[in-house]
Structure 1
Amino acid sequence: MSPFIRLAYLLLLLLKTTCDALLVPPRVHMKVSNNLENGLVLTTRCQSRNDDLGVISLPKGGTFGFSFIPNIWTTTLFFCRMEWKGASHYFDIYIYFRDYVHCRHTCWWSVKEEGPCLYDNDSGKYDLCYPWNKSQNNSHP
């Protein structure tokens, strides 16, 4: 193989490796904890346009997790229906542009009656709190 072809091959390999690293975002790990009062069981069903994680019941203090790789178009959205005795709510548990800055690799959510709160690495607390979605149909496919 000529030196020119060998150099061209190495440059193409380097370019492909660099582009792959830039285009594929890191895996995101989601953790959702039940912090409802009075020992209420949290029943949740989280899904995206492509994935349905099924129904999960969490006792008080219980946690479940899942992971995914955000798409390259930065449109990844996971939403959850969360229910407990006397209540039913929806929440967008992962929105790329809202959450990427706060939890690039791991998003820790604490679910309370008032709404879910995201762990803030800067403050060391669950103080990034959000209201429940007004309606499932406002933001989901």
Structure 2
Amino acid sequence: MKITNDLENGLVLNLHCLYKDDDLGVHALSKGDAFEFNFRPSYSGSTLFHCGMDWRGATHHFDIYDFILDQNRCNPDCFRSVKEAGPCLFNHDLDGNYEISYAWKSVV
């Protein structure tokens, strides 16, 4: 998994990812910097990595890897680009761009 800060105007992305009881720590990413970690999806299909992301004036949460949604899209690797509008997934099937984009989830 590779998560890259593609926020505009040089904003620093503060990233905090978790998997069950495994806390991957807080990482401050400057524009263009990336945080990488390795994992193997569980055989039960329940692998879910959740990340909190914030930058000046914004706080968001996103399931950065959900086995049910991403098992076929993240083969062999999973690359995410974080933008103000939402995170995007690198599309291995097309022309090598981050073309699968998601909106931020609403917090209730």
Mark yes or no: TM-score above 0.5.
yes
* 1:75-86 mapped onto 2 (5 Å cutoff): 75-86=46-57
Mapping 1:54-93, distance limit 5 Å = 54-93=25-64
User: When the two structures are superposed, what TM-score results if normalisation uses the length of structure 1?
Assistant: 0.73
Shift of 1:69: 1.3
Matched ranges for 1:1-141 at <5 A: 30-123=1-94, 124-135=96-107
Greater helix share, structure number: 1
Between the aligned partners of 1:126 and 1:111, the Cα distance in structure 2 is 10
- What number of residue pairs does the alignment pair up? 107
Alignment gaps of 5+ in structure 1: 1-29
Q: Is the 8 A contact 1:32 1:110 kept in 2?
A: yes
SS at match of 2:43: coil
User: What letter corresponds to residue 89 of structure 2 in structure 1?
Assistant: L
- One-letter amino acid of the structure 2 residue matched with residue 116 of structure 1: P
Q: TM-score, normalised by structure 2?
A: 0.94
Segments of 5+ residues of structure 2 without an aligned counterpart are none
Separation (CA, whole Å) in 2 of partners of 1:59 and 1:103: 24
Aligned-residue Cα RMSD (Å) equals 1.1
Rg (Cα) greater in structure = 1
Q: Is the 8 A contact 1:92 1:133 kept in 2?
A: no
Alignment partners' CA distance in 2, 1:84 and 1:100: 29
Give SS of 2:9's match: helix
